[in-house]
């Protein structure tokens, strides 16, 4: 048979974001794959180097749309380390609430969205509907549903209202009771299991070869490598949570881990609400007169957090000017989303290509940056 070239994305319901994979197939099997980033045409890193430090706050959340707050966090952490700005105690705890809500929102989108490639369309409807409840909370806190610009150098923009805290508690109770229904609908579904169990494998050696982190690493090599544990930031060292691990990374295990981690995020937020100071500052502001002329001291730093897909970091260099000299984004899905597509998507059947991308947690803007 003649080798045939097919396209997965960028305009395809199974592709996550503006990204394309050129698949060369023999019958129903992919024999070669070529990832094609560059569909966004944004160049986030270079744009950041041409904007004032504070102006970048509106740009950086767009590097990962499903979980934008991680960019605000690593950017703020880098500036705080370079400048020595102290973050108020209460702001550390509020940041954790925002980050864990964003993680849950990402997992719900992924957990529900996995139903699309297997024809289980109730899953995306549930996932997006429940994610919308989190967006309602974000809107109440920040004034925006997706891009919040809420975590800023020196803390967070404003305190949480008591009504918002009660709304968060109510949502956590609702979601905890709701999650078993996701398990019944998706994880226990025989069709979903046939499509993902013992398939879409991520061998342990790939983790070390490509630098895969997050659920991909933890499900393949059995190591609880989670930045919240190994290099705690905010106040993650003061809360208890469990990091699931396994030694067999098939598609089913990676999706199941997203389900388990959602429970852990609920547990973390509840602890934060209990331990968070009731009063106190939440932002050590720069004076209004100097924010747009602000110069960050000369130096270089790498800051990282644990996002829903793994280790997410910024390497930032300042030359003491009013703009960053260099910013490099360590996108968590870069290894499997770019190198992994080319090396390990071959051998997969055509109908499973979208499943492969989803279970690997590929976020295209982290690659095309």
Assess if residue 10 is contained within a domain: yes
Residue 38 scores a pLDDT above 80 = no
Q: Residue 13: its pLDDT value, please?
A: 65
Q: Are 76 and 31 part of one and the same domain?
A: no
Assess if residue 61 is contained within a domain: yes
Which of helix, strand or coil describes residue 317? Answer: strand
Residue 345 scores a pLDDT above 70 = yes
Q: Residue 234: its pLDDT value, please?
A: 96
* pTM of the predicted structure, to 2 decimals: 0.94
Render pLDDT for 40-98 as a digit per residue (tens, 0 to 9): 767 899 999 999 999 999 999 988 888 999 999 999 999 999 999 999 999 999 999 99
Element (H, E) at 318: strand 310-318
Token readout for 117 is 């490639």
Q: Are 80 and 20 part of one and the same domain?
A: no
Confidence of residue 1 (pLDDT cuts 50, 70, 90): low
Partners of 328 in the beta sheet? 315
Closest listed residue to residue 222, CA positions, set 259, 266, 253, 267: 253
Q: Residue 289: its pLDDT value, please?
A: 57
Q: Are 100 and 145 part of one and the same domain?
A: yes
Q: Residue 366: its pLDDT value, please?
A: 84
| Pick from 58-67, 287-296, 323-332, 336-345: least confident | 287-296
Confidence of residue 19 (pLDDT cuts 50, 70, 90): confident
Is 294 in contact with 322 (CB distance < 8 Å)? yes
Q: Are 251 and 368 part of one and the same domain?
A: no
Q: Are 248 and 302 part of one and the same domain?
A: yes
Render pLDDT for 251-297 as a digit per residue (tens, 0 to 9): 999 999 999 999 999 999 999 999 999 999 999 987 655 667 788 99
Residue 14 scores a pLDDT above 70 = no
Contacts of 41 (CB under 8 A, 6+ apart): none
Q: Are 254 and 353 part of one and the same domain?
A: no
The whole-chain average pLDDT of the chain stands at: 91
Closest listed residue to residue 195, CA positions, set 265, 123, 247: 123
Q: Residue 41: its pLDDT value, please?
A: 65
Render pLDDT for 147-179 as a digit per residue (tens, 0 to 9): 999 999 999 999 999 999 999 999 999 999 999
Q: What is the residue-wise DSSP string for 63-111?
A: GSTTSTHHHHHHHHHHHHHHHTPPPPHHHHHHHHHHHHHHHHHHHHHHH
Closest listed residue to residue 259, CA positions, set 368, 363, 359, 339: 359
Residue 12 scores a pLDDT above 70 = no
Assess if residue 181 is contained within a domain: yes
Pairing relation of β-strands 299-307 and 155-156? Answer: unpaired
Q: Are 365 and 322 part of one and the same domain?
A: no
Average pLDDT over residues 139-146: 95
Q: Residue 106: its pLDDT value, please?
A: 94
Token readout for 202 is 């991520």
Can you give the CATH number for the domain in which 229 is found?
Answer: 1.10.645.10
What is the spatial distance between Cα 258 and Cα 109, in angstroms, rounded to a whole number? 10
Render pLDDT for 186-200 as a digit per residue (tens, 0 to 9): 999 999 999 999 998
Q: Are 71 and 31 part of one and the same domain?
A: no
Q: Residue 184: its pLDDT value, please?
A: 96
Q: Are 220 and 358 part of one and the same domain?
A: no
Assess if residue 341 is contained within a domain: no
How many domains does the structure of the chain reveal?
2
Q: Are 171 and 223 part of one and the same domain?
A: yes
Q: Residue 287: its pLDDT value, please?
A: 63
Q: Residue 37: its pLDDT value, please?
A: 81
Contacts of 348 (CB under 8 A, 6+ apart): 29, 30, 200, 356
Q: Which domain holds residue 356?
A: 1-39+348-369
Q: Treating both helix axes as pointing N-terminal to C-terminal, what angle do 214-221 and 251-275 enclose, rounded to 10 degrees?
A: 120
Assess if residue 339 is contained within a domain: no
Q: How far is CA 290 from CA 36, 296, 326, in A?
A: 42, 12, 22
Q: Residue 293: its pLDDT value, please?
A: 79
């Amino acid at each position: 048979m003649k080798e045939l070239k097919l396209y997965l994305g960028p305009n395809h319901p199974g592709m996550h974001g503006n990204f394309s994979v050129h698949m060369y197939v023999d019958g129903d099997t992919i024999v070669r794959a070529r990832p094609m980033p560059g569909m966004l045409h944004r160049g986030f890193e270079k744009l950041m180097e041409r904007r004032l430090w504070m102006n970048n706050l509106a740009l950086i959340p767009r590097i990962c749309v499903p979980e934008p707050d991680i960019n605000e966090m690593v950017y703020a952490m880098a500036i705080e380390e370079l400048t020595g700005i102290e973050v108020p105690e209460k702001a550390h705890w509020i940041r954790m609430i925002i980050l864990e809500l964003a993680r849950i929102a990402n997992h719900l989108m992924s957990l529900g969205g996995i139903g699309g490639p297997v024809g289980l369309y109730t899953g995306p409807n549930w996932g997006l509907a429940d994610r919308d409840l989190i967006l309602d909370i974000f809107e109440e806190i920040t004034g925006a549903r997706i891009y919040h610009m809420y975590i800023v150098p020196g803390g967070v923009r404003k305190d949480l209202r008591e009504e918002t805290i009660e709304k968060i508690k109510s949502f956590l109770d609702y979601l905890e009771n709701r999650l078993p229904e996701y398990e019944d609908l998706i994880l226990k579904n025989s069709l979903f299991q046939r499509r993902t169990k013992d398939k879409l494998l991520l061998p342990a050696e790939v983790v070390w070869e490509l630098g895969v982190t997050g659920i991909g690493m933890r499900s393949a090599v059995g190591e609880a490598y989670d930045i919240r544990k190994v290099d705690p930031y905010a106040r993650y060292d003061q809360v208890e949570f469990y990091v699931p691990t396994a030694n067999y990374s098939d598609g089913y295990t990676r999706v199941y881990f997203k389900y388990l981690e959602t429970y852990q995020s609920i547990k973390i937020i509840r602890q934060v609400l209990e331990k968070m100071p009731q009063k106190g500052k939440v932002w050590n502001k720069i004076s209004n007169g100097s924010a747009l002329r602000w110069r960050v001291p000369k130096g270089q730093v790498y800051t990282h957090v644990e996002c829903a897909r793994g280790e997410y970091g910024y390497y930032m260099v300042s030359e003491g000017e009013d703009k960053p000299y260099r910013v490099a984004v360590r996108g968590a899905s870069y290894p499997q989303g770019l190198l992994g597509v080319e090396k390990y998507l071959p051998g997969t059947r055509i109908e499973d290509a979208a499943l492969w991308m989803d279970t690997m947690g590929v976020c295209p803007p982290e690659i095309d940056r």
